[in-house]
Amino acid sequence: MAINVIPKDVGILPDTELDLEEIDQDQSEQLAQPAEIIAITLPDSVCGDRLDKVLSKLVPQYSRSRIQQWIEDGHVQVDGKPSKIKTTMLGGELIQIIPQSSPDENSFTPEDIPLNIIFEDDAIIILNKPAGLVVHPGAGNWSGTLLNALLFHRPALAQVPRAGIVHRLDKDTSGLMVVAKTLTAQTELVRQLQARTVRREYAAMVWGTPISTGTVDAAMARHSRDRLKMAVSFSILAKPAITHYQRLATGMLERFPVSLVACRLETGRTHQIRVHMQSLGFPLVGDTLYGKQHLARFFPRQALQARRLGLIHPVSGEDMEWSIPLEADFVALLEQAGMPSQ
């Protein structure tokens, strides 16, 4: 077998991870080499194997799903002609692969996106993420994310995994986040998150009237039928999830009762507050994924804001805490429901 690489004039672009908790193998493969034309003369030992299987073994730096896509798109030729994924190889064929860049390879590009920074020193950044801003590049959002903004704000963050991001907020959830500026700080903050010592409190408006205080201790996993959703689960794959909540005020949106609740996270699972409150029968106002779609007219997003954040400074050891007022749209929602401003 012979493998020849014919360089093309294309820059080196890093790959990235889609999700901080559930990394898809195909999306996180490392592409540390430039795109090239790869020529391979197949050995006789592959006789009887299908094309995509053969190539996934011979060029393991690319995932099988990516190779399959290239075959379908005509970027792989067998003896000078396009082929099919399931074509059986006999051995001796000349294969030419023209690697194609994917959107995720451009995700770590600095972009001049304004950041509302609450605090910054040599180790950490505390920022107030607006609703509508995606935290990390992923399918459908390969640019215009918080990560892109951070790389523009501090180019040195390119040397820190995920540009220093250690936890996430949903796209339409606003509020406080911490970002590490060094690998040492990031490692310590991740340790604190794992130890559940980071204090995170959210304001949420829910449909209905929950009891004054309570705790939801219900493990969560990916929804069995809808991969966009999470769910309370008894599966062996489910991860522990604990939310403490307190009802702060009640009101009405037209004829529907609503409540303002403070939610304190003990764990930080994807969509945790949204899923836990829905599991009690009190979905968030504006949450069309888990809540009442026919009542979406009252608020254009889930009514959820990370209002308080407390942690031990990863360098000084000082116990620090930050809090922010509710966003203007949230305040307007409170007024509409007849609740006092918080």
What is the rounded distance in angstroms from the CA atom of residue 39 to the CA atom of residue 338? 70
Catalytic residue among 52, 104, 170, 287: 170
Contacts of 193 (CB under 8 A, 6+ apart): 166, 167, 268
Q: What share of the chain is helix, strand, coil (3-state, %, to 5)?
A: 20, 30, 50
What is the rounded distance in angstroms from the CA atom of residue 307 to the CA atom of residue 17? 27
Dihedral of the alpha carbons of 229, 231, 236, 238, in degrees to the nearest 10:
80
What is the rounded distance in angstroms from the CA atom of residue 230 to the CA atom of residue 275? 7
Is 196 within 8 Å of 190 (Cβ atoms)?
no
Token pair, residue 115, equals 């950041």
Judge whether 19 counts as a catalytic residue. no
Question: CB 335: neighbour CB atoms within 10 A?
Answer: 12
* H or E segment to which residue 31 belongs: none
Residues designated catalytic = 170
